[in-house]
Amino acid sequence: MADGAFYPQIDPYDTGMLAVGGPHQIYWEQSGNPKGVPVVFLHGGPGAGASPAHRRFFDPAHYRVVIFDQRGAGRSKPLGEIQDNNTPQLVADIERLRQHLKIQRWHVFGGSWGSTLAIAYAEHHADRVMSLCLRGIFLCRRSEIDWFLYGIRHFMPEAWRDFAEHIPASERHDLLRAYYKRLTDPNPEIYMPAARKWSVYEARSCTLLPSPETVEAFASDVVALGIARMEAHYFSHDIFLPDNFLLDNIGRIRQIPAVVVQGRYDLVCPPDTADDLRRAWPEAEYVIVPDAGHSAMEPGIRANLVSAMDRFRSIK
């Protein structure tokens, strides 16, 4: 689509649940052209889950669109489960799904945590990746986690105060530990209020201009629990990969066609992370959207993502 607008809403032609080990079953769906070129969508968070709007980044006449909810997220079961839930296992799930659907190679599309997972997957299975379309780069380094927990207060002091003051003053020196303790408590009267505080804090920081719709969506039980518990789990374990693993292994994917789209005013995943990726990977096309924050639904980010996937139609 020349103007970069969303494609029309479509429904899946195929859905299922895939057992991936331990207690986990992941939800998956296919939409678009059953005989088209495969593309897999990796949602953010971790834990945010996918939505019907995510099908609309892709030309449904050209692409066979595969979307799934990662372990513990969305329609996958059990919701919020952190047992057997780490980055290597998520990478293995993508491969398991590819094999289940009898796909040889596919395009990989991911934003925010989805960009983290897309890079990790590509670095482990470069021969299966036709292209990478990445947005709102997050590498899950300690500096980025600290920014999310503390740095955003310099721009969103009201949102940060609501987030921090859910925790007693004596514990606020380590918000991650304090939240993780509450989010993993077995009592829903403890974990759900904490989950909503965490998720709404992120939602309020996601868009350049206030978006009540985003905040409302993130405050729902399923999204809040998935996002808050999974993010706290992954942040507490430094992504379950060696320090700086993703940047150190860019050489494995340097040859893959790639587009990186980054909002200039992204508070959740600030542009310095995308800039670090750009410097390590100059072969990737790099697009800064001057009037956008973090959300894939920001008009400029959406337009550039759709445009990138339209251009990738030339890759067979």
Give the residue numbers annotated as catalytic, written as ranges: 112, 266, 294
Longest pairwise C-alpha distance within the chain = 58
Q: How many residues does the chain have?
A: 316
**DSSP assignments along 288-306, one per residue:** EETT--S-TTSHHHHHHHH
DSSP class of residue 35 equals T
Question: Residue 29: beta bridge partners?
Answer: 15, 67
Please identify which residue in the block is written with the tokens 């408590």: 185
Cα–Cα distance measured from residue 300 to residue 266, given in angstroms and rounded to the nearest whole number = 13
CA atoms within 13 A on the CB side of 247: 16
- Taken in order 197, 148, 79, 133, the sign of the CA dihedral is positive
On the 0-12 / 13-18 / 19+ scale of CB atoms within 10 A, 282 is: exposed
